[in-house]
Structure 1
Amino acid sequence: MPEATDDDRSRTGPFTPVVTPQWPAHAAAVWAFLFGLVSLYWAAGGTWLLDTIGESVTAPAQENAPAMVATVWASALVKLAAVVAALGLVQRWGQIFPRWFLLGGGWLAAGLLLLYGGAGIVQQALMATGAIGVSDTFAPVLYWHLFLWSPFWLLGGVFFALATVHLTRCTRR
């Protein structure tokens, strides 16, 4: 019978991590933290950058419509929870979760963010070129979305995708 190797002896957790670049997960965490801070600021009544979002969202928020206020607070909490999720992909404490849970969450976050940001960029580029119409309420913020908000969502998706790819490639059962 072959002698056990150090590699065999180290398999004590649900999966065995190997050396992996951690920067994508840390970048995803920073991305989520910054995005969460902006949402917290807005939820607390701040107005900086609020005029870059669009009247259909900002008008109810500025009128303190309960549903919109709750939505902004929930958005902030989800974004801050994404900080923990991103770090869970690379930190030792993340191993308390099953590998499939981490991978599923990472791919879900990456997919949703990439889809939302990418589709937004395509739609807004078509609006900017006149290929499709733009509403009177969205026209003033079109370029904010095209060059700031949609790329920011897309960037978060890229960070989560890279972090999840690294987890996929550098863990084994």
Structure 2
Amino acid sequence: MEKPIDDTLPPVWAGYTASAWMIVFAAMSFYWALGGTAGINTVSLGQELAGDPWFITLLWLTGILKIGGGILALALVQSWGQQLPRQLVLILAWGVSVLLVLHGGDFIIQGALTENGLIGFPAFAAWTTAHWQTFVWGPWWLLGGIAFCAATWNYQRRSR
């Protein structure tokens, strides 16, 4: 006989995972924005654009957005999140979830197509960028998206 699902303990692991994922990713953006170069050559055009003012601005902006995403993920599992308008939280959380999954999937598909010679990067992009997109960044974005989807789903079920 199957055990019934225990809904008395909300599954919060996904929200904390999504938040931690966002914070780690934000730290990378801030590191690169402050002039750090370790790993920047793994990002498409990263090495070529390091130090460029608009690229630095973009890194700061994405870092701030990622911090916002980390806070949103916490709102899905913390009691203070219940004080926020439910519909707004759901729209934002599902939006972030979809964007992360699509971006990760896009990286994996583009990387796989590049790896198989079906498409190519511009001549000035590093060859190893395709490997990083396919095997590191794509799965990393996908992982964040899956965690966000699970956290959003759990929030939606609990907050009816």
1:67 aligns with 2:57: no
1:97 aligns with 2:88: no
Query: 1:168 corresponds to which residue?
Result: 156
User: Does the 8 Å contact 1:18/1:171 carry over to 2?
Assistant: no
State the Cα deviation string for residues 27-86 of structure 1 (Å, max 9, x = none). Answer: 0001001101111111111111111113x333222xx32211111111111111111110
Query: 2:3 corresponds to which residue?
Result: none
Of 17-26 and 75-84, more deviation after overlay is shown by: 17-26
User: Does the 8 Å contact 2:21/2:144 carry over to 1?
Assistant: yes
- What is the letter of the counterpart of residue 122 of structure 1? I
TM, length-normalised to structure 2:
0.89
Query: 1:3 corresponds to which residue?
Result: none
User: Does the 8 Å contact 1:35/1:79 carry over to 2?
Assistant: yes
State the aligned residue count. Answer: 153
**Aligned partners of 1:18, 1:76: CA distance in 2, in Å?**
35
Equivalent of 2:104, from 113, 117, 129?
117
Query: 2:4 corresponds to which residue?
Result: none
Displacement after TM superposition at 1:139 (Å): 2.3
Query: 2:19 corresponds to which residue?
Result: 29
- What is the letter of the counterpart of residue 135 of structure 2? F
The structure with the larger Rg is 1
**Aligned partners of 1:170, 1:156: CA distance in 2, in Å?**
21
- What is the letter of the counterpart of residue 120 of structure 2? G
Displacement after TM superposition at 1:122 (Å): 1.1
1:53 aligns with 2:40: no
What percent identity do the matched residue pairs reach?
36
1:78 aligns with 2:68: no
Query: 2:32 corresponds to which residue?
Result: 42
Q: Secondary structure at the match of 1:68?
A: helix
1:145-164 equivalences in 2 (<5 Å) = 145-164=133-152
Displacement after TM superposition at 1:101 (Å): 1.0
**Aligned partners of 2:122, 2:48: CA distance in 1, in Å?**
16
Question: Unpaired segments of 5 or more residues in structure 2?
Answer: 1-6
**Aligned partners of 1:89, 1:158: CA distance in 2, in Å?**
14
TM, length-normalised to structure 1:
0.82
Question: Unpaired segments of 5 or more residues in structure 1?
Answer: 1-16
| 4+ aligned runs moved over 6 Å, structure 1 | none
